[in-house]
């Protein structure tokens, strides 16, 4: 192998592209043969259980040693169940149940599904402390607003996943919970002093490191108390000085998707890739719509930066080494224990139920559920949610004349259309409750703290018991 070949292979060994379509493109298979470290699967890559089984079989056959990856948080963020909604409750529900064993069981169930298909890295759990109720991108993806509770359940979730043979990745370091903007679209700022950062945002990550987490994901946010010039993904002060030197993390540092506006809107993804590696990242998530041309351009940019002296060869070698060690530690061919079947949690125990909702439940009329369109974020995507995910939705134009009505939304704020509908129906004499399947922003009759298929089934059962 020539030095040039070796350098290109090193660069490929730090990359994790996605791709478009439901079959493995020839360029991805070729890149895997040439040293590509990882491939990330997204919701639009999945068309059916049989198709994803065939897809993963083709990818794993092409690269038995690679990291095959997805975001399977359970709850609202699901890739494996993108077509139906997740069969797991999600972090906010697990945090409210506050039983670490239940949290670990949920993660182990996810690991069993992933490992059967050939995945060995899961970009989860979300370890953010959701300290801002209006956070547009975290919300129910978080275990809660208390740092110690989030830390406790992060550790349990990581153990459940990794003990079953799938590497975990705590995100979004150093903490995305205290933002009111979404880094998919802009560059948020965590404007807290270093003491607050240490005693709130960093607590779950420190616990995860102590618990042996395999990888940690960066966030595209500004944290001026640590680095006033560079977003976390591109900050040596945050990735090396804080995460490596101060917190003692020795695993792989993975970037959030570099095609997000908070990472590359101003510079382009090729520059962002080099900056992330130089700052201390090891595995670069390139995003869901990576093309052959973009991938080749990123590899070339990394190689050129080493030749030009803008990125040291030692840093690139270190990144490729840490990524390869992660893959080796979670080899699908290892003899991992079989997952044990655990009873599902009593999800409804996590609901916040008002007196008005309890009175509504006792009314003798038949219940109908009306789901209102609610904005979501790119992390969630277009996944069936709420009662509609379990075929319990009635269009508002088709409601019965004498039923009681549960109006369902998520992330309901004062401007949400659900309020006018509720007021109009109540004026006409109907019995109505308003249900929020998200993180509550204002007072409603019932909050589920999640919108997954599992939570939706529990909600329908709870309201019709």
Catalytic machinery residues? 184, 256
What is the per-residue DSSP string for 417-429?
THHHHHHHHHHTT
Asked if 298 and 283 count as a contact pair (C-beta separation under 8 A), the reply is no
b/e code 362-372 from CB counts within 10 Å (16+ = b): eeeeebbbbbb
Element (H, E) at 452: none
DSSP annotation of 74 reads B
Number of H-type helices and E-type strands within the chain: 16, 13
**What do you get for the CA distance between the two ends of the chain, in Å?**
68
Nearest CA to 16 out of 276, 222, 267, 330 is that of 276
- For residue 404, how many C-alpha atoms fall within 13 Å in the half-sphere facing its CB? 18
Contact 231, 187 (CB under 8 A): yes
If you ran DSSP here, which 8-state letter would residue 163 be given? T
67-70 sheet: strands from edge to edge: 38-41, 67-70, 121-122
């Amino acid at each position: 192998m020539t030095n040039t070949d070796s350098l290109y292979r090193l660069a490929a060994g730090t990359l994790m592209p996605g791709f478009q379509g439901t079959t493995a493109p020839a360029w991805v298979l070729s890149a895997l043969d040439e040293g590509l470290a990882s491939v990330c699967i997204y919701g639009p890559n999945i068309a059916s259980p049989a198709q994803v089984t065939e897809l993963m079989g083709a990818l794993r056959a092409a690269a038995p040693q690679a990291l095959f990856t997805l975001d399977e948080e359970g709850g609202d963020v699901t890739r494996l169940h993108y077509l139906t909604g997740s069969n797991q409750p999600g972090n906010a529900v697990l945090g409210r149940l506050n039983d670490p064993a239940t949290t670990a069981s949920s993660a182990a169930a996810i690991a069993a599904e992933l490992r059967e298909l050939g995945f060995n890295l899961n970009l989860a759990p979300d370890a953010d402390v959701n300290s801002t109720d209006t956070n547009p991108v975290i919300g129910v993806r978080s275990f809660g607003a208390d740092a110690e509770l989030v830390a406790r359940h992060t550790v349990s979730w990581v153990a459940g996943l990794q003990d079953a043979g799938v590497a975990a990745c705590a995100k979004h370091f150093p903490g995305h919970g205290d933002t009111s903007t979404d880094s998919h679209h802009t560059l948020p700022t965590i404007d807290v002093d270093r003491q607050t950062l240490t005693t709130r945002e960093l607590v779950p990550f420190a616990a995860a490191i102590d618990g042996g987490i395999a990888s940690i994901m960066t966030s595209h946010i500004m944290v001026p108390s640590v680095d006033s010039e560079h977003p976390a993904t591109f900050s040596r002060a945050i990735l090396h000085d804080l995460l490596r030197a101060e917190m003692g993390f020795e695993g792989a540092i993975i970037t959030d998707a570099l095609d997000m506006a908070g990472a590359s809107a101003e510079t382009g993804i090729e520059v962002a890739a080099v900056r992330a590696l130089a700052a201390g990242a090891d595995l670069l998530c390139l995003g869901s719509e990576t093309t052959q041309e973009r991938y080749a351009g990123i590899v070339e940019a990394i190689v050129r930066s080493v030749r030009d002296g803008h990125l040291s060869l030692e840093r690139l070698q270190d990144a490729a080494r840490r990524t390869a060690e992660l893959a080796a530690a979670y080899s699908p061919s290892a003899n991992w224990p079989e997952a044990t079947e655990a009873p599902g949690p009593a999800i409804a125990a996590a609901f916040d139920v008002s007196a008005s909702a309890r009175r509504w439940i006792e009314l003798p009329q038949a219940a109908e559920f009306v789901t209102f369109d609610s904005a979501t974020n790119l992390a969630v995507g277009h996944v069936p949610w709420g009662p509609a995910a379990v075929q319990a939705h009635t269009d508002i134009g088709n409601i019965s004349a004498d039923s009681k009505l549960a109006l369902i939304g998520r992330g309901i704020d004062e401007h949400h259309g659900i309020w006018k509908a509720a007021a109009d129906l109540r004026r006409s004499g109907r019995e109505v409750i308003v249900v929020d399947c998200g993180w509550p922003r204002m007072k409603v009759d019932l909050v589920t703290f999640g919108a997954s298929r599992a939570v939706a089934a529990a909600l329908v059962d709870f309201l019709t018991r």
